Structure 1
Amino acid sequence: MAETFDHGGGIRSVRVPIPDNPLGHTLVYVVDTDRGPVLIDTGWDDPGAWSVLAEGLRACGTDVSGIHGVVITHHHPDHHGLSGKVREASGAWIAMHAADTAIVRRTRETRADRWFTYMAAKLTAAGAPEEHIAPLRDPAPRAGLPGFSPALPDREIVPGELLDLPGRRLRAIWTPGHTPGHVCLHLEEEHPSRLPGHGRLFSGDHLLPEITPHIGLYEDPDDATVTDPLGDYLDSLERVGRLAPAEVLPAHQHVFTDGPSRVRELLAHHEERLAGLLGLLAAPLTPWQLAERMEWNRPWEQIPYGSRNIAVSEAEAHLRRLVKLGRAEAVPGSDPVTYVAVDRA
């Protein structure tokens, strides 16, 4: 049975399940406009999730076929997965930031073999053991991979501009970090309960009440640009904190108030984590070795294969930030490359 909630002021949400994922669900928001309801995110592409979304929309007084548009905070499948089905059922437009639209386009055009080869090379460079890399070289799992072709958006979300939602004032705030094109959406309207603050913020995965989003490398097999996702995220956090919204409507967990306080907690968390990593880097470590020693939600031995890849990407993002800040450096001549803290005494 679909769980829905009325947030007042023509905003409702549907809890759309994510199969086999500890996050549990994506909060899909239904925003009333003068041309019909618009969704913010859509949920995972799964038959059960689709049924819950459809049921939830009916409970909200509408129907999938009546959706006017879909606004996507970022390209991840628990947010963008059902967008294509919604568009097929309703004729709705789909809007996304250009940086994440480029990832969607690349995902649709890149053969699976290219991704496997790229990931094997990345993990080798990160110092992953051969037993972890070997499955990526084995053609057997490739044949069993399901096709993944995310819907190509047909509208661009332009940072700083109001979205074309008649009767609403919803402004796009570019918040890269979790993905290069992640956006938060600032509803510049008085809170229906007149809570103190400036409107409401649909925060996607950028600002969550109790957990921190994954910040890893921006993966692109055809782009060697050295990005700084963690630096992007921290800068974006400060920008969102300055908005001081009355209420934050995230894509996971639950709605909360006092966004600036949560921003301060996250900034402090990442500073503490960077400091902790410097302690680990008293001796040279590869990104894989650093990931093994970092604190996760479970011991390294219990982290599944795919999650280890995500963990290594997060370790690399933190290393890039430390290097950019001049607090760590690569050890010349090391292969795979190791990193060590810089003595600032």
Structure 2
Amino acid sequence: MRRVTDHGGGVWSVPVPIPDNPLGHTLVHVLETDHGPVLIDTGWDDPASFDALADGLAVCGTSMPEIHGVLITHHHPDHHGLSGRVREASGAWIAMHPADTAVVRRTRTAPQAAWLDYLIGKLSDAGAPEDHLAPLRAARASGRGRALPGLRAALPDREIVPGELVDLAGRRLRAIWTPGHTPGHVCLHLEEEHPAQHPGRGGRLFSGDHLLPEITPHIGLYEDPDDAAVTDPLGDYLDSLERIARLAPAEVLPAHQYAFADAAGRVGELLSHHAARLASLRELIAAHPLTPWQVAEAMEWNRPWEHIPYGSRNIAVSEAEAHLRRLVKLGLAEPVAGTRPVAYAAV
């Protein structure tokens, strides 16, 4: 198992386990301030994860009751899950971008079956077969909707304001809005000289899931059952990547895997990956129109479609739809009139 890492200059990373997930853990970063330690993300809401965080804090020379504040890069449960327990143990404030705070609020206050109704409708419209929809319909009928993750997530009590310095005594930490993975994802730029004097204009960057050394983060649809607006998450993500490349941090401290340099090089790889994927999908729908489900079945994943777990197929279809929306936005594809579920064709 990974151990706590001292990155120097009052920054540590604590690996907090994610139960039954191939990612293994979330790297919770601890930032020393004049008013006490501040956490960047917290990890999954699980007793073993909470214990691992507490043990890691002890290695950093602090403890849960001493935590002054919590900065959340985005609302996903492997990042925000333990925020409530940390606040209960310490009285710490919790800050998040308002777009993701709105997601947390919706998730907490939605009627019991609202998210299942939404998911069934979205998947049906995407062309999911009935055998995939049947378990969701059964869960809806039995009232098991409250088993969905994230329903206990803490409501933040502060906002992270893009472009502004976070109010941290003795530190210069600036919020950079990087939507794509979620609508309110933020990176946090530590505008201080690197303690090892690594080359680069811009100190260190806490990148959350926006920029990872080997993983391409999931870019799906922004889920809001009450909002019919057509968003472009992949376009948001690509624009956000280019902003980070221009920032040129000396080192990136992501929430998964390991710290790395050359942010601009990694951004270039991700931009090339998505450009190739968009071109491949356009060729696919140029042959004949396909529904988002059919596109997802044909896309290249890290394993054959028949080996992708049930829940991961929902994520894959969402990612396929995000790419189709980008093609439509670029004028390279369009929905075929009169099709239901809607099929897409190249233009």
TM range (shorter): over 0.9
What is residue 289 of structure 1 aligned with on the other side? 294
Q: Which runs of 4+ in 1 moved over 2 A?
A: 143-148
Look up the SS of the partner of 1:281 in the other structure: helix
Contact kept in structure 1, 2:190 and 2:205, CA below 8 Å: yes
What is residue 116 of structure 2 aligned with on the other side? 116
Contact kept in structure 1, 2:99 and 2:184, CA below 8 Å: yes
Distance 2:311 2:32 in 1: 38
Q: Say whether residues 1:245 and 2:238 are aligned partners.
A: no
Look up the SS of the partner of 1:180 in the other structure: coil
Structure 1 residue 140: deviation in Å? 3.3
What is residue 264 of structure 2 aligned with on the other side? 260
Contact kept in structure 1, 2:28 and 2:43, CA below 8 Å: yes
Deviations 1:18-58 (A, max 9, x none): 01111111000000000000000000001111110000000
Distance 2:220 2:328 in 1: 15
Q: Say whether residues 1:211 and 2:215 are aligned partners.
A: yes
What 5-or-longer segments of structure 2 have no aligned partner? none
What is residue 49 of structure 1 aligned with on the other side? 49
Q: Say whether residues 1:96 and 2:93 are aligned partners.
A: no
Amino acid corresponding to residue 227 of structure 1 in structure 2 = T
- TM-score (normalizing by structure 1): 0.97
What is residue 311 of structure 2 aligned with on the other side? 306
Contact kept in structure 1, 2:16 and 2:52, CA below 8 Å: yes
The structure 2 residue matched to 1:158, chosen from 157, 161, 183, is: 161
Look up the SS of the partner of 2:116 in the other structure: helix
Q: Say whether residues 1:235 and 2:239 are aligned partners.
A: yes
Contact kept in structure 2, 1:99 and 1:181, CA below 8 Å: yes
Distance 2:131 2:226 in 1: 26
The structure 2 residue matched to 1:140, chosen from 139, 142, 147, is: 142
Look up the SS of the partner of 1:337 in the other structure: coil
Contact kept in structure 2, 1:247 and 1:256, CA below 8 Å: yes
What 5-or-longer segments of structure 1 have no aligned partner? none
Distance 1:190 1:144 in 2: 46
Amino acid corresponding to residue 224 of structure 1 in structure 2 = A
Contact kept in structure 2, 1:75 and 1:100, CA below 8 Å: yes
Look up the SS of the partner of 2:144 in the other structure: helix
Distance 2:93 2:155 in 1: 10
Deviations 1:111-142 (A, max 9, x none): 23111111111111000001111122212371
Shift in alpha-carbon separation, 1:164–1:314, aligned structure 2, 3 A: same
Structure 1 residue 146: deviation in Å? 6.3
Look up the SS of the partner of 2:147 in the other structure: coil
Distance 2:297 2:50 in 1: 37
Amino acid corresponding to residue 228 of structure 2 in structure 1 = A
Shift in alpha-carbon separation, 1:23–1:315, aligned structure 2, 3 A: same
What is residue 199 of structure 1 aligned with on the other side? 203
* Count of matched residue positions in the alignment of Structure 1 and Structure 2: 342
What is residue 27 of structure 1 aligned with on the other side? 27
Contact kept in structure 2, 1:177 and 1:230, CA below 8 Å: yes
Distance 2:272 2:146 in 1: 43
The structure 2 residue matched to 1:173, chosen from 176, 188, 196, is: 176
What is residue 345 of structure 2 aligned with on the other side? 340
Shift in alpha-carbon separation, 1:143–1:268, aligned structure 2, 3 A: closer
What is residue 222 of structure 1 aligned with on the other side? 226
Contact kept in structure 2, 1:287 and 1:338, CA below 8 Å: yes
Structure 1 residue 2: deviation in Å? 7.0
Distance 1:157 1:45 in 2: 22
Deviations 1:170-219 (A, max 9, x none): 00000000000000000000000001111000000000000110000000
Distance 2:190 2:47 in 1: 31
Contact kept in structure 2, 1:69 and 1:92, CA below 8 Å: yes
Distance 2:145 2:322 in 1: 31
